[in-house]
Amino acid sequence: MKILFIGDVIARTGRRILSGHLAGLRNRLGIDLCIANAENSAGIFGVTRSVVEELRESGVDIMTGGNHIWDKREGIDLLEERDDLLRPANYPPNVPGHGWVVTERGGAPVAVVNLQGRTFMPAIDCPFRAADGILAGLPGDVRVVVVDFHAEATSEKLAMGYYLDGRVSAVAGTHTHVQTADERILSGGTGYITDLGMTGAFDSIIGVRKEQVLNRFLFALPVRFQVADESPCLQGMVVEVDTATGKAVSVERIMEFVDGEGAMS
């Protein structure tokens, strides 16, 4: 089974990349399941009904979230309604939505788990213990398990990778919007990358217009961020998994630019 993890989709720029090119990319790479972090997909912060439908029509099967998944009231309602839209599983009990789901591809069940870190992030429940609880409760026939770990600190992401090594098929970090070059298969057979990056404007500061972020750093005044659109780029990782064992057999970091004529390279 080949699984495509897509880094944080940034507003309309990221959505346009997916709507115009994801179907072709899935076909070219032979993708069975596509997961994308969607917490920044609607106006940079949160999700809306129309945006979620657009992502699904583009070819995203499961949408994960993070600390910004709560930023629009409409998005919170969607978390209650949809099985294909996740929020981090380690938020306190009784918050809306769910943090993991089991789907099926090619006759094989696949669990997709969404967790959020705590270092430099909101103080929520322990993601490591939450992962233990989820894995203990999965049906016995689920061997393929993939985790989106939405976290700020590199050390915490690495710690989660090593903690889950041999127990899940892949751990992919999200949140920082900067792709790391450390994709690998850990010793226990878990595919890993510290951060998938983002799907949005490469010529930007984490998807936002450069001059706006610079002004915020230079003058320390509030700035209304606007999405950038220069050098559109899809970033992520493809993990191939042995469905019999749940182990990763290959990982490939993805960085696909859309050129001026709309082609990916």
Q: What are the angstrom distances between the C-alpha of 98 and each of 57, 88, 95, 129, 179?
A: 22, 8, 8, 16, 27
Burial (CB count within 10 angstroms: exposed 0-12, middle 13-18, buried 19+), residue 185: middle
Q: Does the CA dihedral 264-234-54-229 come out positive or negative?
A: negative
| Backbone phi and psi for residue 201, each to the nearest 5 degrees, phi listed first | -85, 115
Partners of 110 in beta bridges: 103, 144
Catalytic residue flag (residue 175): no
Q: What is the residue whose two structure tokens read 């306190």?
A: 92
Q: Which of 21, 68, 175, 177 is labelled catalytic?
A: 68
| 3-class SS of residue 239 | strand
Of 128, 130, 182, 127, the residue nearest 154 (C-alpha): 182
Where do the DSSP E strands lie in 99-177?
100-105, 108-116, 144-150, 170-174
Distance of alpha carbon 243 from alpha carbon 139, whole angstroms: 15
Could you list the active site residues? 68
